[in-house]
């Protein structure tokens, strides 16, 4: 017999003693009846009697009466059903612990089939989500690729509420866990990242993990939404929370009593939501002018339901994962934790290449070509751009006699031209003979595909102008596109937005592709005035406040705010960037096959004039201030987009003018979302500067690829600050080489990277006799005693360095004697910070004894090491040894 609270109490007695607990907490009776019937404890007539009883509590009483009449085995089997189907009977799990229930051997062999509506719906959700997420559909509709065959993790950086790094997420299945939670009261995990960095595919992988029970969560319901779907609803449309959940995911079967929805309302912590692309509906939320929703039964506009879910007004306690592009801010009170996607690391990129190409020959060929171009590698750290490059390589290499990635500095415009060439080559009129490869001629492919290309471009521009990312069949037809054109790959259907069986809707493969095609439309247009190409530049230059989720906006304002369709405008900035690239001289030979050279010349002149004027105006208006390093200027975010556009034009004249206009001695680009591909654009301008310059690029994402791209400009830099930029030892090798070569750097900040001991060793050689470097931070770089020893040995021969920070590394007492020798050498070092390492009292003794032989050091900070307060008192006489 199984164990219960009292050895002498029978199972029938247990049911009698706890009858009211069972009556009040047992809600789902269908699973109980199904299993009792299947095992022969009740007959069909018994089931009908129970079902005909008026109330749920009376039905439970009838069941208890029936099983108690059937004997001990029936009574225990009744308890065993509750034990086995724990999700459905979650209210009674504490009761099972209270009576200390463990199944007997006899009942444990009896089968329990879970027919509960809640469990059935959970399994249905898992099944449908597994089916919907097992193939990668984000990047093309012509071929299907299994998610598990191509998905590669990216760098997932955990941030605190001040956007400071908390390290990296080791694996995606831990995303919902408690690590790096800075606000336990918050319910939203905020995932941010640049265009194409993999936010949508990350959510798809997350959903797929949950469907296979591979996610670290006990949630049994998972509802996924793309934020742009909320744009298809009419202003007057109203739906309930029940409609939002079930009509746009899947509907619960066999649930006449609405037990599933009731369960969700009672246990919201068992629910996970994902909302993809919040930035795409930001401006729509400014228009909300209806009372907030607090009742799950009320009907309201779907956008209001979204806000109420995110605020916790509805289903408080549920878990939400919300994605948005970098720069969109949410109020900290709703955020549980933040994750910033940083793209592929070199190891991730290698994995992705290996998954793309099964043939070793192709792997090696692509790897060699990428390694030859740090800029292209930098672009390929963005998964979308990498996918385009690799897809284009495979397709064009298959079609033509030979195809190699461009050896010159490839731009984003080049990448999207490659993608368009691939898509246009799908056309029957462009396809070569299958029996013989052809010689590649991009201009001929574009000339033959001009009609559909122009139509897709027109459709993209119309969407940009009205701030829409979804197009109807009617709009597609009006632009002159045919059914055959839709197979090229530019568009994909999005039927999940419509549950009424209406006409299909479509969206572009990626919003950045829509931006590219909109730019193409501006170039091809020969009807509107030439200056119409500047429409989005004008829109993006408007002064506006940073975007923030309007959780505290005045719902009942007497006058709704004027709608700003371009309030979220990164897609417009990309359109400007692609316009600059398409009108560059580098692409003249291609574009002149598609549009009148006279129009092109006029548009090119207008663009060059606008960029020149805008750069002058922007540089003149930048805020500047004086600091220790001289006059500093902190650039505004729009300056980075200007640099990107200038690089896409390839205009040496504009680059020279921009370099000349930077009059400050130090440019501050901290927290400007600079990624590795931007470093080539920055170098494109800085290489024309004559004077020396300081560059502060702390807290960005330039990575090792970016450092390699900046190499030509290091000869001009007096200040190099690259803290928290995902750098490794390979970056330090480049920097060390440049330090030895040019010897002009005075301040070098490297805090918060991962250079390790190899990087420290490389740096040590550069520091040994450096004549100008006075300040250096290598804090938070995973440097152990081995690296500390190398640095200490080298610095004994450096008489210039004054401030040296090795905070938050992993040095132990093994490094202490070598650091003590550095102190004894009395080189002129004035500040040595060893905070948060692993020194004990024995290691600190070495430093204290060495200080007696040093006259220059003002302080050695050793706070946060492994000394007790009592041990710290041993050094109270040495005032320069600081523990606080």
Q: Report CA 520 to chain centroid distance, whole Å.
A: 28
Query: What was the pLDDT predicted at 547?
Result: 39
What number of CA atoms fall less than 13 Å from residue 802's CA on the CB side? 6
Is the whole-model pTM more than 0.75? yes
Give which of 270, 269, 224 is closest to 249, Cα–Cα: 224
Query: What was the pLDDT predicted at 476?
Result: 96
Using a 10 angstrom Cβ sphere, with 0-12 exposed, 13-18 middle and 19 or more buried, the burial of residue 109 is: exposed
Q: What is the CATH number of the domain that holds 256?
A: 3.40.50.300
CA 657 to CA 620: how far, in whole Å? 12
Domain boundary residue among 297, 322, 341? Answer: 341
pLDDT tier, 546 (very low <50, low <70, confident <90, very high otherwise): very low
Tens of pLDDT, residue by residue over 416-474, are 999 999 999 877 545 555 445 667 788 999 999 999 999 999 999 999 999 889 999 99
Question: What's the whole-number mean pLDDT along residues 582-587?
Answer: 95
785 located within any domain: yes
Query: Quick count: other Cβ atoms within 10 Å of Cβ 70?
Result: 17
User: Token pair for residue 579?
Assistant: 């316009």
User: Token pair for residue 114?
Assistant: 């879970």
C-beta separation of 754 from 346 below 8 A: no
Query: Quick count: other Cβ atoms within 10 Å of Cβ 304?
Result: 23
CA 14 to CA 22: how far, in whole Å? 10
Give the range of the structural domain holding residue 232, as residue numbers without chain letter.
Answer: 120-341
821 & 693 share domain: yes
Query: Quick count: other Cβ atoms within 10 Å of Cβ 472?
Result: 15
Query: What was the pLDDT predicted at 134?
Result: 93
Q: Please tell me the total number of residues recorded for the chain in this structure.
A: 884
575 & 546 share domain: yes
Residue 564 has pLDDT above 60, yes or no: no
92 & 132 share domain: no
607 located within any domain: no
825 & 813 share domain: yes
365 located within any domain: yes
pLDDT tier, 556 (very low <50, low <70, confident <90, very high otherwise): very low
Query: What was the pLDDT predicted at 96?
Result: 95
Point out which residues pair with 833 in neighbouring strands.
805, 861
CA 782 to CA 787: how far, in whole Å? 9
468 located within any domain: yes
362 & 263 share domain: no
616 located within any domain: no
865 & 773 share domain: yes
C-beta separation of 117 from 54 below 8 A: no
Name the maximum alpha-carbon separation found in the chain.
100
Query: What was the pLDDT predicted at 88?
Result: 85
Tens of pLDDT, residue by residue over 647-673, are 999 999 999 999 998 888 999 998 888
Residue 118 has pLDDT above 70, yes or no: yes
Crossing angle of helices 450-465 and 511-524, in 10° steps, is 110
DSSP annotation of 188 reads E
Query: What was the pLDDT predicted at 447?
Result: 95
Q: Could you write out the three-class secondary structure of 96-154?
A: HHHCCCECCHHHHCCCCCCCCHHHHHHHHHHHHHHHHHCEECCCCCCCCEEHHHHCCCC
C-beta separation of 23 from 16 below 8 A: no
pLDDT tier, 638 (very low <50, low <70, confident <90, very high otherwise): confident
Point out which residues pair with 492 in neighbouring strands.
507
CA 356 to CA 360: how far, in whole Å? 11
The proportion of the chain whose per-residue pLDDT surpasses 90, expressed as a percent, equals 72
Query: What was the pLDDT predicted at 557?
Result: 30
Question: What's the whole-number mean pLDDT along residues 801-808?
Answer: 97
* 195 phi, psi to nearest 5 deg: -60, 130
Query: What was the pLDDT predicted at 60?
Result: 96
Residue 789 has pLDDT above 70, yes or no: yes
660 located within any domain: yes
Query: What was the pLDDT predicted at 550?
Result: 38
- Classify 834 as helix, strand or coil: coil
Q: What radius of gyration do the chain's Cα atoms show?
A: 33
Query: What was the pLDDT predicted at 543?
Result: 46
Point out which residues pair with 810 in neighbouring strands.
784
Residue 291 has pLDDT above 70, yes or no: no
CA 813 to CA 829: how far, in whole Å? 21
Query: What was the pLDDT predicted at 426?
Result: 79
70 & 168 share domain: no
Could you tell me which residue, 718 or 566, shows the higher pLDDT? 718
Residue 93 has pLDDT above 90, yes or no: yes
pLDDT tier, 565 (very low <50, low <70, confident <90, very high otherwise): very low
Tens of pLDDT, residue by residue over 334-348, are 999 999 999 999 999
Q: What is the CATH number of the domain that holds 67?
A: 1.10.533.10
Residue 465: CB partners within 8 Å, gap ≥ 6?
A: none
Tell the residue number behind the tokens 């459709």, with chain if given.
459
666 & 732 share domain: yes
Domain boundary residue among 448, 471, 503? Answer: 448
Tell the residue number behind the tokens 């934790």, with chain if given.
337
DSSP annotation of 714 reads G
Mind giving me the DSSP string for 269-323?
A: GGEEEEEE-GGGGHHHHTT--SPPP--TT--B-HHHHHHHHHHTSSSTT-EEEEE
Domain boundary residue among 91, 115, 139? Answer: 115
CA 777 to CA 766: how far, in whole Å? 14
- Classify 193 as helix, strand or coil: strand
Domain count, the chain: 5
Residue 623 has pLDDT above 60, yes or no: yes
CA 472 to CA 478: how far, in whole Å? 10
130 & 102 share domain: no
Query: What was the pLDDT predicted at 872?
Result: 96
504 & 384 share domain: no
Could you tell me which residue, 395 or 158, shows the higher pLDDT? 158
- Classify 172 as helix, strand or coil: helix
Residue 3 has pLDDT above 60, yes or no: no
Query: What was the pLDDT predicted at 563?
Result: 36
660 & 802 share domain: yes
Residue 544 has pLDDT above 50, yes or no: no
270 & 165 share domain: yes
C-beta separation of 802 from 830 below 8 A: yes
Residue 65: CB partners within 8 Å, gap ≥ 6?
A: none
Could you tell me which residue, 862 or 393, shows the higher pLDDT? 862
155 located within any domain: yes
Crossing angle of helices 570-582 and 511-524, in 10° steps, is 50
Tens of pLDDT, residue by residue over 680-727, are 999 999 999 999 999 999 999 999 999 999 999 999 999 999 999 999
Q: What is the CATH number of the domain that holds 874?
A: 3.80.10.10
Query: What was the pLDDT predicted at 253?
Result: 87
Query: What was the pLDDT predicted at 437?
Result: 63
Cα→Cα distances 332→169, 184, 281, Å:
20, 11, 20
pLDDT tier, 827 (very low <50, low <70, confident <90, very high otherwise): very high
DSSP annotation of 179 reads T
Question: In the chain, how many H helices and how many E strands?
Answer: 38, 23
C-beta separation of 85 from 114 below 8 A: yes
pLDDT tier, 1 (very low <50, low <70, confident <90, very high otherwise): very low
22 located within any domain: yes
């Amino acid at each position: 017999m199984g164990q219960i609270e009292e050895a002498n109490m029978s199972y029938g007695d247990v049911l009698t003693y706890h009858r009211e607990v069972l009556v009040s907490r047992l809600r789902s009776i269908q699973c109980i009846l199904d299993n009792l019937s299947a095992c022969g404890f009740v007959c069909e007539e018994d089931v009908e009697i129970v079902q005909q009883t008026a109330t749920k509590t009376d039905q439970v009483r009838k069941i208890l009466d029936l099983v108690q009449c059937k004997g001990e085995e029936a009574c225990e089997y009744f308890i065993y059903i509750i034990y086995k189907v724990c999700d459905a009977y979650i209210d009674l799990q504490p009761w099972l612990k209270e009576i200390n229930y463990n199944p007997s051997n006899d009942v444990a062999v009896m089968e329990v089939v879970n027919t509960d509506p809640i469990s059935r719906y959970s399994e249905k959700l898992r099944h449908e989500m597994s089916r919907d997420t097992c193939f990668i559909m984000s990047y093309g509709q012509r071929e299907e690729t299994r998610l598990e065959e191509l998905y590669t993790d990216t760098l997932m950086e955990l941030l605190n509420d001040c956007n400071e790094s908390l390290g990296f997420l080791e694996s995606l299945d831990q995303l919902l866990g408690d690590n790096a939670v800075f606000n336990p009261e918050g319910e939203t995990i905020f995932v941010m990242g640049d265009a194409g960095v993999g936010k949508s595919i990350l959510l798809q992988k997350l959903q797929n993990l949950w469907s296979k029970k591979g996610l670290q969560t006990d949630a049994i319901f998972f509802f996924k939404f793309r934020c742009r779907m909320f744009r298809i609803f009419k202003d007057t449309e109203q739906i309930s929370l029940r409609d939002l959940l079930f009509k746009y995911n899947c509907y619960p079967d066999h649930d006449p009593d609405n037990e599933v929805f009731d369960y969700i309302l009672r246990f919201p912590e068992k629910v996970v939501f994902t909302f993809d692309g919040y930035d795409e509906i930001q401006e729509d939320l400014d228009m909300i002018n209806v009372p907030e929703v607090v009742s799950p039964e009320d009907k309201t506009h779907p956008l209001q339901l979204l806000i109420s879910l995110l605020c916790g007004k509805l289903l408080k306690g549920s878990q939400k994962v919300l994605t948005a592009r970098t720069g969109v801010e949410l109020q900290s009170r709703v955020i549980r934790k933040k994750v910033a996607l940083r793209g592929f690391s070199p190891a991730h990129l290698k994995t992705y290449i290996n998954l793309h190409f099964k043939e070793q020959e192709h792997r090696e060929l692509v790897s060699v070509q990428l390694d030859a171009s740090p800029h292209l590698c930098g672009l390929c750290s963005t998964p979308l751009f990498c996918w385009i490059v690799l897809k284009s390589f495979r397709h064009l290499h298959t079609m033509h006699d030979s195809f190699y990635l461009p050896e010159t500095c490839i731009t984003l415009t080049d990448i999207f031209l490659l993608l368009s060439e691939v898509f246009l080559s799908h056309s029957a009129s462009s396809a070569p003979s299958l029996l013989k490869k052809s010689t590649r001629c991009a201009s001929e492919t574009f000339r033959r595909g001009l009609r559909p290309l122009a139509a897709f471009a027109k459709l993209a521009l119309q969407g940009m102008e009205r701030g829409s990312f979804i197009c109807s069949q009617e709009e597609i037809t009006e632009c002159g596109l045919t059914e055959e054109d839709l197979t090229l790959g530019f568009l994909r259907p999005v039927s999940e937005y419509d549950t009424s069986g209406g006409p299909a809707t479509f969206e572009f493969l990626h919003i950045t592709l829509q931006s590219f095609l909109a730019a193409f439309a501006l170039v091809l247009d020969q009807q509107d005035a030439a200056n119409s190409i500047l429409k989005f530049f004008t829109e993006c230059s408007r002064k506006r406040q940073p975007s923030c989720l309007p959780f505290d906006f005045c719902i009942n304002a007497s006058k709704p705010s004027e709608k700003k369709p371009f309030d979220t405008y990164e897609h417009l900035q990309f359109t400007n960037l692609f316009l600059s690239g398409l009108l560059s001289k580098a692409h003249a030979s291609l574009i002149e096959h598609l549009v009148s050279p006279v129009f092109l010349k006029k548009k090119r002149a207008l663009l060059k004039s606008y960029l020149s004027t805008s750069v002058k105006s922007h540089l003149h208006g930048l805020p500047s201030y004086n600091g220790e390093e001289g006059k500093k200027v902190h650039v505004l975010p729009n300056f980075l987009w200007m640099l990107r556009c200038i690089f896409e034009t390839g205009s040496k004249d504009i680059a020279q003018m921009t370099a000349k206009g930077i009059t400050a001695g130090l440019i501050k680009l901290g927290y400007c979302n600079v990624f590795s591909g931007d470093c080539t654009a920055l170098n494109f301008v800085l290489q024309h500067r004559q004077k020396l310059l300081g560059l502060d690029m702390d807290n960005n994402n330039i990575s090792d690829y970016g450092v390699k791209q900046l190499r030509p400009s290091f000869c001009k830099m007096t200040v190099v600050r690259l803290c928290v930029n995902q750098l490794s030892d390979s970056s330090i090798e480049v920097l060390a080489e440049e330090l030895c070569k040019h010897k002009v750097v005075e301040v070098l900040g490297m805090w918060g990277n991962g250079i390790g001991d190899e990087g420290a060793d490389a740096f040590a050689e550069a520091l040994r006799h450096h004549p100008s470097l006075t300040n250096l931070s290598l804090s938070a770089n995973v440097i152990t005693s081995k690296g500390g020893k190398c640095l200490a040995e080298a610095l004994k021969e450096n008489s210039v360095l004054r401030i040296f920070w090795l905070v938050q590394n992993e040095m132990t007492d093994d490094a202490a004697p070598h650091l003590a020798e550095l102190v004894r050498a009395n080189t002129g070092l004035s500040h040595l910070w060893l905070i948060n390492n692993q020194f004990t009292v024995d290691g600190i003794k070495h430093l204290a004894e060495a200080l007696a032989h040093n006259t220059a050091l003002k302080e050695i900070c050793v706070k946060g090491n492994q000394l007790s307060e009592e041990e710290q008192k041993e050094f109270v006489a040495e005032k320069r040894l600081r523990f606080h």
